């Protein structure tokens, strides 16, 4: 998952979409099959940690948690 997130974070158009909160206008909080915007919000937070934050390490915990609620293989620590 780490490598995938790093690769996605280097796509400047996608990165800026989340860094500058453009994703907010596209969130679908009503979709019963989705994450109600939680995955997008978690990813935006992670991207901000990676690109704007002062931390050396960024923690993808909330991204994994949001994924795990919709996709079983992302649940737990296995």
The residue whose two tokens read 């390490």 is 57
**Residue 40 structural domain:** 2-74
Q: And the tokens for 74? A: 């992302």
pLDDT at 30 over 80: yes
**Structural domain total, the chain:** 1
Which H helix or E strand runs over 73?
Answer: none
pLDDT at res. 2 = 85
Q: What is the pLDDT of residue 66?
A: 92
- Please report the pLDDT score of residue 75 as a whole number: 87
Q: How far apart are CA 78 and CA 76, in angstroms?
A: 6
pLDDT, tens only, 56-73: 888 899 999 999 998 888
Indicate the average pLDDT of the chain: 91
> 42 near 63, Cβ under 8 Å?
yes
């Amino acid at each position: 998952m780490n490598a995938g997130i790093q690769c996605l974070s280097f796509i400047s158009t996608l990165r800026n979409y989340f860094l500058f909160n453009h994703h907010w206008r596209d969130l679908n909080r009503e979709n019963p099959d989705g994450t109600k915007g939680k995955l997008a919000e978690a990813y935006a937070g992670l991207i901000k940690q990676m690109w704007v934050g002062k931390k050396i390490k960024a923690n993808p915990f909330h991204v994994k948690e949001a994924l795990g609620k919709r996709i079983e293989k992302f649940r737990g620590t296995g």
